[in-house]
Structure 1
Amino acid sequence: MANKTLGTSGATLIKSHEGFSLKFYGDPYGYPTVGWGHLITKTKTYAKNTTGNPNDSLLTQTQANTLSSSLNLGYTSPISQSQANVFFTNDTASAVAAVNNVTLPAGMSLTQSQFDALVSLTFNAGPGVLNTSDVKALLAYKLIYSSFQGPRSDVENDNCSKLVSKAFAYDRNLTRRRNEEATLFCKGMGYTHKYPVYSL
């Protein structure tokens, strides 16, 4: 199966939850960040972002210039839109590669929506999320794939819904994002994301 690339729906979902700023800002841990959640370094911390709005934890121009100089970044705050786009492509590449490397049942393949949902989850939670028991159980269930031949019974559709809900139940602080990812995963399939994450 040819490797997939991140689709528009996946990129839009990720960007909508990452916040965006051309200026350097502190992430929820205070790590300096820019663009759509591009981590500059974990060696220094600044004001923690507690609102989800990057403008609430912007570094001063002096802080940004000092950080840029100390790390020899070759850029400082603010960055250009094109640089932000490059960072986003590079940052999502590892999540895309991780999802492309998962082992699927023989003859099964992910739809673009399923792929995008898993990339968003992986981008946010790290590649280790793909090795959790709930995600592995989801990917092992042949009936979740559009390439599955044959109708699904109501019970089987319900099983798909439950597996999706459990697989995306990761980080209670991000239930809205996880539910949106689960909904995207089910797009165009015979089953739906009817069980909100953490409800099972």
Structure 2
Amino acid sequence: MNLGTGGANLIKSHEGFSLKFYGDPVGYPTVGWGHLITRNRTYTKNTTGNAKDSLLTQAEANALSSSLNLGYTSPISQSKANTFFAEDTADAVTAVNSLSLPSLSQSQFDALVSLTFNGGPGVLDTKDVKAMLDYKQIYPDFHGPISKNELDTCSKLVSKAFSYDRNLQRRRNQEATLFCKGRKYTHKYPVYTL
């Protein structure tokens, strides 16, 4: 499967955006939608979530570009930002596609890609994510009646699976809601409530 519009929009909405080089929350130089330029240098830490609050000066950007032989400097083009986003999400898409699962809906796939993009592929091996993915009633191709208890179990498993990184509760709740989109169960238990 490929990343859908819902997943791409969710990731972009939480990554922030700037065509100019900026410091991420650790201070690593970043551009576009969270495209990491290098971990070898740090600049102003972004503490607000707004890339404009930690922009590198043009002199810093030019020096960084020159020292790393990037072939581009700040600001980048919108086309370059789109290319970086596609490249950066490709690893998360590959990680989710490599799972041996029954078929996922596009929303389920997108939610898992967003979680993986942000948390790294190891998040798919966590106990809670595995428990959710092992529950056959989670999948759209599950045939048969689903009891109220099973629907409740689905909701609980989703909540636990997306309870990854307490600092990102808003993002995780949106991912869990996206995962449940179009399913008979809902995301009625916010992350970290169980």
* Aligned residue type for 2:119: A
Aligned-residue offset at 1:151:
1.6
From 100, 105, 115, the counterpart of 1:111:
105
Q: Equivalent residues in 2 for 1:11-50 (5 A)?
A: 11-50=8-47
Who is 1:189 aligned against?
A: 183
* Structure 2 partner of 1:73: 70
Cα distance, 1:24 vs. partner?
0.1
| Structure 1 residues 74-108: Cα deviation after superposition (integer angstroms, max 9, x where no partner) | 0000000000000000000000000001122xxx2
Matched, 1:148 2:145: no
For 2:115, the equivalent position in structure 1 comes to: 121
When the two structures are superposed, what TM-score results if normalisation uses the length of structure 1? 0.96
- Name the amino acid aligned to 2:62: N
Corresponding residue SS for 2:43 = coil
CA distance in 1, matches of 2:40, 2:145: 53
Give the C-alpha shift of residue 60 in structure 1.
0.2
Structure 2: how far apart are the matches of 1:49 and 1:29? 7
Find the aligned partners of 1:90 and 1:196 in 2 and give their Cα distance. 31
- SS at 1:124's partner residue? helix
Residue by residue, what CA displacement relative to the aligned partner does 1:26-85 show, whole Å, maximum 9, x if unpaired? 000000000000000000000000000000000000000000000000000000000000
Structure 2: 5+ residue stretches without partners: none
Q: In the alignment, residue 154 of structure 2 is paired with which amino acid? A: C
- For residues 145-195 of structure 1, the C-alpha deviation after alignment (integer angstroms, 9 at most, x for no partner) is 010001210000000000000000001110000000000000000000000
Corresponding letter in the other structure for 2:136: K
Output the amino acid matched with 2:47: T
Q: Does 1:136 align with 2:136?
A: no
Give the 4+ runs in structure 1 shifted more than 3 A.
Answer: none
Instruction: Specify the code of the residue in structure 2 equivalent to 1:77.
Output: S
Aligned length: 194
SS class of match (1:189): coil
Indicate the residue corresponding to 1:91 in structure 2. 88
Identity %: 77
Answer yes or no: is 1:64 the counterpart of 2:30: no
Instruction: Tell me which amino acid in the other structure corresponds to 2:61.
Output: A
**Aligned-partner Cα distance in 1 for 2:114–2:145:** 29
The 3-state SS of whatever aligns with 1:23 is strand
**Tell me, what secondary structure is at the counterpart of 1:180?**
helix
| TM-align CA RMSD | 0.4
Corresponding residue number in structure 2 for 1:5 = 2
Give the distance between the partners of 2:40 and 2:100, measured in 1 at CA.
Answer: 35
Q: Which residue of structure 2 aligns with residue 171 of structure 1?
A: 165
Distance in 2, Cα, partners of 1:189 & 1:151: 13
Work out whether 1:180 is the aligned partner of 2:180: no
